[in-house]
Structure 1
Amino acid sequence: MTVQRADARRNHALILAVAEKEVAAHGANASLEQIARTAGVGSATVRRHFPSRRALLSAVFGKRIDDLRARAVDLAEADDPRAALLDWLSALTAYATSARGMADALLQDGGDDADHADACSLRLGGAVDPLLRRAVRAGAVAPEVTTADLITLVTGLALATEHHPNPAAEANRLLTLTVRGISPQS
């Protein structure tokens, strides 16, 4: 295990704190150069700590991802697998719409760095898979639905509603509509 020097640990924490503010203000495309300037370090220092934009976003959203993982674990043994999965999807929707850039961090498009491309989604997947499998076994979700499908769905909703006056409410409304379906059951 490599031990980081105290100044390197301070720089890492400072860069991360500045990045959180910049991403909150400007979304996932926040300027790495501006982050470096505000943190009082060079861009090479930012790159040393976070080799890609995706790695930086993964770190910025790490706490939120950990909270979502914990929520999935808490819900994994709930009495109603459908309600548990929908509760988790609502929590993901709330997180994705409340943090500018989080939806971009959840994108599974390969991005700018294959090692970090799906870091947020992969971290969520392991915790959500048991929740989804229980809902599938209960007949509450179609068997072909994957965790990646659900994350992609919520990501799309968050991106589509990002500029709405109330993104969280609109994304949640669309999630409810999606779960219900667009045509009445016969």
Structure 2
Amino acid sequence: MTSRYPWARVLTALAGIAALLGILIVATPQLTDQRRIDADDDRDLSGSAYTATKNKLNHAAIDEHVRTHYPWLAPVYLGEAVTMTGDPGFSAWLQADLVNGTGGATYTLRIQNTGTEPFDGSFSEGCAWLEMDDGKRYYPPDVSNFNGWFVPSAVDPDTESKIALTFKFPAHERPASLILCLRLGKIHPTAQWSLNP
């Protein structure tokens, strides 16, 4: 049966389409906003959790690497000896003492290679310094053989060398620690002598 008013069907169809468009226009921004909120929540939660875990793992790995490869020995007093160990075959015995404390300070250092591998004992890379009470550091301008000769860079197994470390610093400064580090293979142990009684 045919309607007497065919345009009424067209109008009904158009009204239905208009209603559907109205619903979409109202609902779409709300859905888009909700999706954006959900996406932000997901990104923040997963991102911050991932970043926090990653940072924690990185800090733990760095701390472990530093503890393993750059260990600091407990402080000792001048005149006492320390034994520094590194990779297999690397070991050193060190003893420091004060020679002269006027116009700066000169320390004698006996180094003995107690391992089976040679190592650099010249302290040429700035791994010898005085730390003051206020935290300032003074590096030695002069590292020499105790007799004034050239300091050999390699300390061979079963040999001992004696060197002088001379530091210049202002008279009002007060040294707190003598700090020395060696490269023993891939490990760089650091020894410290307390200069305060």
Instruction: Tell which structure's C-alpha radius of gyration is larger.
Output: 2
Q: Per residue, is there more helix in 1 or in 2?
A: 1
Q: Whose strand fraction is larger, Structure 1's or Structure 2's?
A: 2
TM-score for the superposition, normalised by structure 2? 0.21
| TM-score (structure 1 length as normaliser) | 0.22
